[in-house]
């Protein structure tokens, strides 16, 4: 029995809360995970996991062993990383999770330059608007907006995005270019709504103590930033989106920013990694690369707090 491998499998089962999810994250068969943990228990002469058809629970022996396994595996990871860093090696597969709009606007165009810097590295990018369990899915780093759903994740400030009102030049040529938010006609504005509802979000503007709020009343509304941007490019209306998604389009003249002197709301983007895991050189290299790629002036302050929603903890 490879005891080190058996320890890794046992730890992953505990982290994932099930044998099947551990097998999926390790890309091995369920039977292999089961036999590995059983062989480890037989070797130690104790029961590590109390399990039935509906749940898993660490025994007293299992809790102590799990803590020690984490320490040993962390030490091994640290030693291996030190050796690789001395060689300057950034290799292996980097697994990234990102909101779809952020990935398409920023990550997808930037990743070829990142992999070109590190020929021994491959990148797997999952685009999703539904945050998943990083450990269970084997994700190295994820992009999150405003909050994380688990206290066992480490969030690092990445980018502070501000909302901008913008429209295609052709549309503005037809309807005229409003010089201030009060001149906006709601019927020209396309809205976005969140999950589980069809009520569009209001637009807010502020300038020198003056405030203005608008509810979009245009013919099209979406729950997708990508769809909203495509509608704007097709000259269907004026949109109000985070600048991070349209900076490139504005620079190229495909969209025109309105009211640049007015302040709007902001949202913070973060990189997120599992707290208990060693941050591999390839993960650190990616975080440094994406920080350098984005506008550093709009990064939230290093001391900025991030909301943590109550997540599920322990085994289920």
Domains, the chain: 3-85 (1.10.10.10), 90-316 (3.40.190.290)
Give the tens place of pLDDT for each residue, 135-149. 778 888 999 987 766
User: Model confidence over 89-99: pLDDT tens digits?
Assistant: 677 889 999 98
CA distance 154 to 131: 15
Asked if 268 and 301 touch (Cβ cutoff 8 Å), the reply is no
Q: Output the pLDDT for position 282.
A: 86
| pLDDT, the chain, mean | 85
What percentage of the chain exceeds 70 in pLDDT?
87
Residue 171 CA to residue 68 CA, distance in Å, equals 64
pLDDT score for 307: 55
Q: What is the largest CA-CA distance in the chain?
A: 79
The strand pairing partners of 203, in sequence order, are: 214
∠ CA 98-101-106, rounded to 5°:
75
Predicted confidence (pLDDT) at residue 69 exceeds the cutoff of 50: yes
pLDDT of residue 149: 63
Give the span between the Cα atoms of 106 and 96, in whole angstroms. Answer: 13
Evaluate if residue 310 carries a pLDDT over 80: no
Mean predicted confidence (pLDDT) in 130-135: 80
Task: Grade residue 183 by pLDDT with cuts at 50, 70 and 90.
Answer: very high
111-125, 140-154, 163-177, 209-223: lowest mean pLDDT where? 140-154
pLDDT at 312: 34
Q: What is the structure's pLDDT at 276?
A: 61
pLDDT tens for each residue of 27-58: 888 889 999 999 999 999 999 998 876 778 89
Tell me the two tokens of residue 269. 């983007």
Q: What is the pTM of this model?
A: 0.66
d(CA 172, CA 174): 5
Percent of the chain with pLDDT over 90: 41
CA distance 227 to 216: 16
How many Å apart are CA 232 and CA 239, to the nearest integer? 7
């Amino acid at each position: 029995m490879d005891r080190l491998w058996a320890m890794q499998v046992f730890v992953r089962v505990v982290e994932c809360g099930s044998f099947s999810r551990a097998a999926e994250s390790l890309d091995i068969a369920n039977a292999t995970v089961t036999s590995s943990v059983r062989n480890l228990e037989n070797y130690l002469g104790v029961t590590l996991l109390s399990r039935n058809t509906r749940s898993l629970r660490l025994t007293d022996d299992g809790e102590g062993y799990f803590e020690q396994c984490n320490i040993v595996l962390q030490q091994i990871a640290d030693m291996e990383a030190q050796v690789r860093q001395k060689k300057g090696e950034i290799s292996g597969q980097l697994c990234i999770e990102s909101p779809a709009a952020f990935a398409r606007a920023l990550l997808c165009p930037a990743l070829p330059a990142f992999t070109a810097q590190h020929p021994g590295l491959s990148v797997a990018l999952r685009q999703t608007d539904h945050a998943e369990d990083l450990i269970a899915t084997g994700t190295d780093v994820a992009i999150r907006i405003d909050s994380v759903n688990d206290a066992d994740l480490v969030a690092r400030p990445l980018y502070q995005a501000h909302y901008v009102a913008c429209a295609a030049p052709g549309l503005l040529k037809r309807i005229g270019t409003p010089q201030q938010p009060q001149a906006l006609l709601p019927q020209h504005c396309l809205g976005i709504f969140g999950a589980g509802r069809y009520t569009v979000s209001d637009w807010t503007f502020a300038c020198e103590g003056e405030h203005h709020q608008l509810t979009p009343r245009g013919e099209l509304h979406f729950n997708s930033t990508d769809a909203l941007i495509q509608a704007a490019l097709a000259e269907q209306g004026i949109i109000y989106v985070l600048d991070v998604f349209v900076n490139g389009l504005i620079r190229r003249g495909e969209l025109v920013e309105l009211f640049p002197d007015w302040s709007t709301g902001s949202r913070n983007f973060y990189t997120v990694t599992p707290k208990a895991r060693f941050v591999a050189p390839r993960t650190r290299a990616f975080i440094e690369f994406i920080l350098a790629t984005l506008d550093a002036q709009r990064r939230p302050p290093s001391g900025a707090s991030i909301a943590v929603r109550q997540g599920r903890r322990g085994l289920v």
